Chain A
Amino acid sequence: MSSQNTQTRREFMWDAVKTFTFGTLTLTAIPMLVGEAQATDQGHSEGEGGKKGTILFGYLVDTTKCIGCGNCMVACKRENDVPDGEFRTWVERYVYYKDGRVQVDMVTAEPFAFAGKSPIDPKTVEKAFFVPKLCNHCINTPCIQVCPVGASFMSPEGVVLVDPLQCIGCAYCVQACPFGTRFINHKTNVADKCTWCYHRIKHGAKPACVDACPTGTRIFGDMNDPESDISKSLGENRIDVLKSYLGTRPKTRYIGLTAEVV
């Protein structure tokens, strides 16, 4: 019996078979799980660019040119069917008063720019400028990391996208984004965000906001192509990103930011 100190040969063989079977199963399971994790990491790091022959989309906002007309916001809403009260891109105005206050408000685009807003007396203003905001399409994305179902991902071209079929609307990503660019679309009840108009750029067109901008504030293109508009502009100007201290490495870059712009 098994309670005896000495095993019979039959018992020993039976134990050996059991040990071998379970051991093999365990050991084969580990590499499978590790392999899956590695595939995931590759997926997240895709789009970091530098590889020749690949596309890496980038976006540059020249805040010195923006006139706050809001045509970009209207175009984005039309193109992407964004519900009222929610924005994939918006334009902020930073007003520096002579008494040291800094005030931030948002452009209302319809029926026309600044309709219904009480005008600011220019004599009290030291300087003021507009800052268009949109998804930063970070290289180290906080939003993709927190998605529990694999609905947020980065395309091979570096565009951060949401898969509406996978998304469960938990809004972790909305909270994770330090730039406030994600929201729960109250029509579809899933996470929504700027896609750089992926359905346009994949077919050679520009994002709707870039097409609609009358002043050339918004520049879009392939950063891996040295002849593209954005590569040239990135090389010619002093470039900043929003909240660089967070280390998310945004691919939406800016010209003409101040320290107060976050």
Chain B
Amino acid sequence: MFSKDTLHLWVLGSLLLLVGTGFMTLRHAMTPASFGQFGHYRGTALDDCAGKPRTLVTREDCTGCHADLKHPLGKAHLNVHCADCHGQARAHIAACTEVKSKVAAGTPIVCSKSNLLPANQKDICLHCHAKVVGRAAKHPQIVFEEHMKDQEPKDPASPSVCLQCHRAHDPDPSNSPEDEESPAAAPPAAATPEAAPAAEPAAGAPAADPAAAAPAAAAPAAPAAPEGGQP
């Protein structure tokens, strides 16, 4: 049927067809099924990107339990992220969630005490309020040594020296803490049976429930420090 010459063309054509078919089959096999669903990308990648876990502790995580602060946020610090000063309290949230899951809804609870107050409190304040070239003039800034010259703090050496005149939640000096104890001096309001971590219920949930607090003793415990509205 074929001449000697046309046979070559047919062989060549068949080879091309074979290679082409092979390529298309391979391409089809290696392209994800949802590729091209919305555009030139894998359609399920949208859900992958949207489904990643949230790790950052945000204000909503705190206000769920601490809606009523002993010291409400003043205008100046209204936008300050709780975690900026109190740290990423993942252990605290995990412990409290566990305690909460074991009691009836609405029961006031005492959580294990993760230390939610920074040891280097002064540095936390200076992080935003140290005088730095570039910060807008209207933003309150101090050179710490100069600021201390005309102040009369009770304990100038304390790492929480700022809190002796300023409330962290409402730092306007006109709202000074006056004779309230500094957080480091505050006595533990309630002790768990194990007594190791001092615990104070959150503001607005004053009743302590030792039975509920007991399981939380297993959670990471840090040096005693009161929690809630302070600072």
Residues of A within 8 A of B (CB): 1-2, 36, 39-40, 42-44, 46, 64-65, 67-69, 71, 75, 78-79, 81, 93-95, 111-114, 119-120, 122, 125, 128-130, 150-156, 161, 163, 165-166, 195, 198-200, 202-203, 205, 208, 211-216
Contact = CB atoms under 8 A, between A and B. Distances in A.
- Most chain A CB within 10 A, of B45, B48, B124, is at B45
A135 to B, nearest CB: 14
B103 interface: no
A245 to B, nearest CB: 26
What is the interface of chain B mostly: helix, strand, loop, or mixed? loop
Contacts of A195: 49
Interface string B126-157: 11101111111001000000000000000000
Contact of B135 (A68, A119, A203): A68
A88 to B, nearest CB: 13
A68 B134 CA distance: 8
A211 B41 contact: no
A104 to B, nearest CB: 11
- Most chain A CB within 10 A, of B39, B81, B136, is at B39
B39 A42 contact: yes
Contacts of B55: 78-79, 81
A78 B56 contact: yes
A69 B127 contact: yes
B39 A122 contact: no
9 contacts: A2-B5, A67-B136, A67-B139, A69-B128, A125-B133, A155-B46, A198-B50, A199-B52, A214-B77
B45 A163 contact: yes
Contact of A122 (B3, B59, B83, B133): B133
B28 interface: no
A78 B130 CA distance: 24
Contacts of A213: 79, 81
B158 interface: no
Contact of B134 (A81, A129, A154): A129
Contacts of B80: 214
B40 interface: yes
Contacts of A78: 55-56, 88
Nearest to A14: B1
A208 B84 CA distance: 12
A202 to B, nearest CB: 4
B29 to A, nearest CB: 15
Q: Top 5 A-B pairs ranked by shortest CB distance?
A: A43-B39, A153-B41, A163-B45, A128-B134, A199-B52
A205 B42 contact: no
A199 B139 contact: no
A214 B41 contact: no
B51 interface: yes
B39 A154 contact: yes
A75 B46 CA distance: 23
Contacts of A212: 56, 81, 83-84
Given A163-B48, A199-B54, A214-B80, A128 B39 contact: no
Contacts of A81: 55
Nearest to B1: A14
Interface string B1-41: 00101100000000000000000000000001001101111
B58 interface: yes
B106 interface: no
Nearest to B141: A67
A166 B135 CA distance: 42
Given A199-B51, A212-B81, A119 B133 contact: yes
Contact of A208 (B56, B133, B139): B56
A161 B56 contact: no
B81 to A, nearest CB: 5
Given A151-B41, A153-B45, A198-B49, A113 B54 contact: no
Contacts of B50: 198-199, 202-203
